[in-house]
């Protein structure tokens, strides 16, 4: 419907303006009600620009950034007369991103300081996943127009998504200086604080928002995430339940309860989730989260076939949204093996940063890596941080910004780096990690599992770093990943064949490094760690050059924050019953076994099948 066709009858105009004024007054106190009133106005006048801007402001205050941007774009259509801007807004609303980008680039060639066009082009970049481009555009936008607060909020959001939480917080502090109680700014700052390990400050901000706006379901959910991380499990459960009381369709909140691994769903919970799945209007994101949660619910009831079908459907829906290509990983492993030889490393001996501080724990997610991290971080000389994105970000940059490492110059580009450049890479990593080091201990852990693919980079830039490979039985690890929905990354885990290929590629590259640099990587076999924890812990500490400390065997007493899916499990003594959970699903794991091939039977102490 065009803006002209959407005009209300003349006698309704006065009523609309009164309603708009009333809704605007509600915005600060109750953005949900302001949103509802704006939506009522838009039923009468679907393209009313002031109502759309009000809707956008209400959504932004609730943290619904993408929906707010959509409302903003629709308001541009109704309020500007410039045909280029109208065409660009129409293209963005219709998701014709390439066309929108061309229009906006043409406009900015003629009018390079048009901040509205710059912001809209940045929105196009964000939708295309070009966060580097969006960041640069929005930086320019706020430089040209420091008071353009929607653009600054977009800038903070891009910085956060681009794993630059410190920079995002700086922008949010500027926004909060002018609007100290804005819940969207406070929520984003709380999330960014969580990224740098400032969980208690993040919790204080969520508390503040929820006292003023107790009907924000997603804020309750984010609050639950923060509480879970610091070990306040009962409070996190209550927060997730509060979220669901306000929004029973919110699949992520249901999955968050399941993901605690300690909550058993009641019959009423299962019925409520199934009722939501029966809705025709349920968003795919809510739908796949609900399938993962129901998979866990039925697993707890030993109804394994129903459980598997829900896991299977959740994975199918999630995989549809992603672009993971198994061939990319295989190609990367092949290129890495060709590049990294004993002669390659001998020629570069003594280069890179000499700092011994990092301990990298690599492998696959759900391999026992959080257990290894918790044991090590219970030592007086070691600090646990989190899964740091920095090595992956540096590898991507070295590859020319390609999202997939095998699509660019990486890892071959590593052969071209000078000693100075390798040293600078090591120091850059240490500088990036510094914000996560709170305790002043000499060593710290980076538990990003995917760093196994970047061992060459790590060994060149940080030759004195320790590398621990946490490995679990391929069927146990593989199925545990399949039934887990990850907040971000791990695109290979949503298909059993992809998981098998990924695991096999990982084993192949790790075996290559074992051959060319014997003993350089220490391997922890999960099943051996849980069956003989003291012996395995002593081996681990010996490799790291650390004296044995009894606290490492009492890792469950460590009250550090833990962000991963195993956060509640590592707060308890080691238990062995989870190691073989996959056997309950054995009959459905054919694609995983086939993709693993010989790797399956080569696993240490693997039982017969």
DSSP 382-428: EEEEE---HHHHHHHHHTTS-SSGGGSSTTGGGGG--HHHHHHHHHH
User: Is the model's pLDDT at 18 over the cut of 80?
Assistant: no
Which tens digits make up the pLDDT trace of 423-465?
999 999 999 999 999 999 999 999 999 999 999 999 999 999 9
Inside any domain, residue 148: no
Give the count of beta carbons closer than 10 Å to the beta carbon of residue 146.
11
Percent of the chain with pLDDT over 70: 88
> Among residues 524, 513, 386, which one has the least CA distance to residue 455?
513
- Residues of the chain with pLDDT > 90, as a percent, come to 68
pLDDT score, position 394: 95
- pLDDT tier at 32, thresholds 50, 70, 90: confident
Residues 6+ apart with CB under 8 A from 341: 516
Structural domain includes residue 345: yes
Q: Quick check: 128 and 97 in contact, CB under 8 A?
A: yes
Q: Is 145 a residue whose pLDDT tops 90? A: no
Is the model's pLDDT at 54 over the cut of 50? yes
Residues 6+ positions from 44 with CB-CB distance below 8 Å: 8, 12, 16
∠ Cα 40 41 46 (to 5°): 105
Question: Which CATH number fits the domain that encloses residue 451?
Answer: 3.40.50.300
Q: Which of 16-20, 110-114, 248-252, 411-415 has the lowest mean pLDDT?
A: 16-20
- Segment 503-530 shows an average pLDDT of 96
3-state secondary structure of 469: strand
Q: How far is CA 210 from the centre of its chain?
A: 24
How do residues 537-580 score in pLDDT, each as one tens digit?
A: 999 999 999 999 999 998 888 665 554 444 445 445 555 556 67
342 lies in some domain: yes
pLDDT in tens, 379-397: 999 999 989 999 999 999 9
CA atoms of 225 and 240, how far apart (whole Å)? 9
Mean pLDDT of 527-532: 91
Q: For residue 406, is pLDDT > 80?
A: no
| pLDDT at 534 > cutoff 80 | yes
Helices (H) and strands (E) in the chain, counts: 30, 5
Asked if 452 and 363 touch (Cβ cutoff 8 Å), the reply is: yes
Mean pLDDT of 214-222: 94
Q: So what's the pLDDT on residue 573?
A: 55
Environment class of residue 568 by beta-carbon count within 10 Å: exposed (0-12), middle (13-18) or buried (19+)?
A: middle
- pLDDT tens, position by position, 341-354: 999 999 999 999 99
pLDDT tens per residue across span 165-175: 999 999 999 99
**429 assigned to some structural domain:** yes
The structural domain count of the chain equals: 1
Mean pLDDT score of the chain, rounded to an integer?
88
Least confident residue range of 265-269, 281-285, 399-403, 416-420: 399-403
Higher pLDDT, residue 51 or 326? 326
pLDDT > 70? residue 12 = no
What is the domain extent for residue 548? 329-601
Mean pLDDT to the nearest integer, 510-537: 95
Where do we find the tokens 């299977």? Answer: 312
Please tell me the distance from the alpha carbon of residue 39 to that of residue 81, in angstroms, as a whole number.
Answer: 24
Q: Is 379 helix (H, G, I), strand (E, B) or coil?
A: coil
pTM: 0.82
DSSP states along 187-199: HHHHHHHHHTT-H
Residue 259: band (very low, low, confident or very high) from pLDDT cuts 50, 70, 90 = very high
CB 226 within 8 A of CB 190: yes
Average pLDDT over residues 149-161: 92
Residues 6 or more apart whose CB falls under 8 angstroms from that of 256 comprise 221, 224, 225, 228, 240
Confirm whether 382 is domain-assigned: yes
Q: At what angle do helices 97-110 and 83-93 cross, to 10 degrees?
A: 160
Residue that has been written with the tokens 């790590």 in this structure: 458
Residue 1 confidence class, pLDDT cut points 50, 70, 90: very low
Q: In this structure, is residue 220 part of a structural domain?
A: no
- The whole-number pLDDT of residue 579 equals 64
Residue at 595 is within a domain:
yes
Give which of 451, 399, 398 is closest to 428, Cα–Cα.
398
């Amino acid at each position: 419907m065009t803006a002209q066709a959407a005009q209300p009858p003349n006698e309704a105009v006065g009523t609309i303006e009164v309603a708009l004024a009333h809704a605007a007054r509600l915005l600060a106190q109750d953005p949900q009600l302001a949103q509802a009133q704006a939506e009522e106005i838009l039923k009468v006048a679907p393209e009313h620009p002031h109502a759309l801007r009000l809707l956008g402001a209400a959504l932004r205050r609730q943290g619904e950034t993408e929906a707010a941007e959509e409302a903003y774009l629709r308001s541009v259509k109704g309020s500007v007369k410039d045909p280029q801007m109208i065409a660009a807004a129409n293209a963005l609303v219709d998701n014709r991103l390439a066309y929108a980008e061309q229009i906006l680039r043409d406009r900015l060639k003629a009018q390079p300081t048009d901040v509205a066009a710059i912001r809209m082009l940045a929105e196009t970049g964000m939708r295309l996943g070009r966060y580097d481009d969006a960041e640069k555009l929005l930086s320019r936008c706020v430089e040209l127009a420091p008071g353009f607060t929607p653009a600054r909020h977009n800038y903070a959001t891009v910085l956060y998504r681009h794993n630059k939480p410190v920079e995002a917080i700086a922008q949010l502090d500027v926004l909060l200086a002018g609007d100290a109680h804005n819940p969207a700014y406070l929520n984003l700052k709380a999330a960014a604080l969580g990224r740098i390990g400032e969980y208690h400050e993040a919790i204080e901000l969520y508390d503040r928002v929820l006292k003023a706006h107790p009907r924000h379901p997603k804020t309750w959910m984010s609050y639950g995430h923060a509480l879970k991380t610091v070990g306040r499990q009962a409070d996190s459960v209550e927060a997730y339940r509060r979220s669901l009381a306000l929004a029973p369709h919110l699949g992520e909140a249901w999955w968050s309860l399941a993901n605690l691994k300690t909550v058993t769903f009641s019959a009423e919970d299962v019925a409520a989730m199934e009722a939501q799945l029966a809705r025709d209007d349920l968003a795919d994101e809510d739908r796949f989260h609900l399938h993962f949660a129901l998979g866990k619910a039925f697993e707890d009831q030993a109804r394994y076939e129903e459980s598997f079908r829900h896991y299977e459907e959740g994975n199918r829906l999630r995989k549809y949204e992603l672009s993971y290509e198994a061939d990319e990983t295989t190609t990367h492993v092949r290129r890495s093996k060709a590049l990294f030889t004993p002669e390659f490393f001998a020629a570069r001996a003594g280069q890179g940063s000499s700092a011994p501080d990092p301990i990298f724990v690599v492998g696959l997610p759900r391999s026992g890596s959080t257990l290894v991290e918790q044991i090590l971080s219970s030592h007086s000389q070691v600090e646990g941080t989190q899964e740091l994105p920095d090595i992956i970000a540096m590898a991507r940059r070295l590859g020319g910004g390609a999202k997939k490492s095998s699509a660019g110059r990486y890892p071959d580009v590593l052969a071209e780096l000078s000693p100075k450049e390798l040293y600078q890479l090591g120091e850059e990593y240490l500088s990036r990690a510094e914000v996560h080091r709170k305790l002043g201990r000499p060593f710290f852990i980076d538990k990003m599992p995917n760093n196994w693919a970047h061992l060459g980079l790590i060994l060149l830039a940080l030759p004195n770093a320790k590398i621990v490979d946490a490995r679990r039985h391929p069927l146990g690890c593989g199925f545990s990943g399949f039934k887990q929905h990850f907040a971000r990354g791990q695109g290979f885990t949503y298909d059993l064949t992809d998981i098998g290929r990924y695991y096999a590629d990982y084993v192949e590259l790790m075996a290559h490094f074992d051959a060319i640099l014997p003993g350089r990587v220490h391997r922890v076999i999960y099943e051996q760690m849980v069956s003989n924890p003291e012996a395995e812990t002593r081996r681990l500490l010996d490799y790291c050059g650390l004296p044995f400390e009894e606290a490492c065997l009492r890792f469950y007493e460590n009250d550090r924050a833990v962000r991963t899916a195993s956060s509640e499990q590592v707060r308890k003594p080691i238990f062995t019953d989870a190691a073989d959970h996959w056997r309950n699903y054995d009959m459905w794991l054919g694609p995983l076994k086939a993709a693993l091939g010989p790797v399956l039977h080569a696993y240490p102490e693997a039982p017969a099948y």
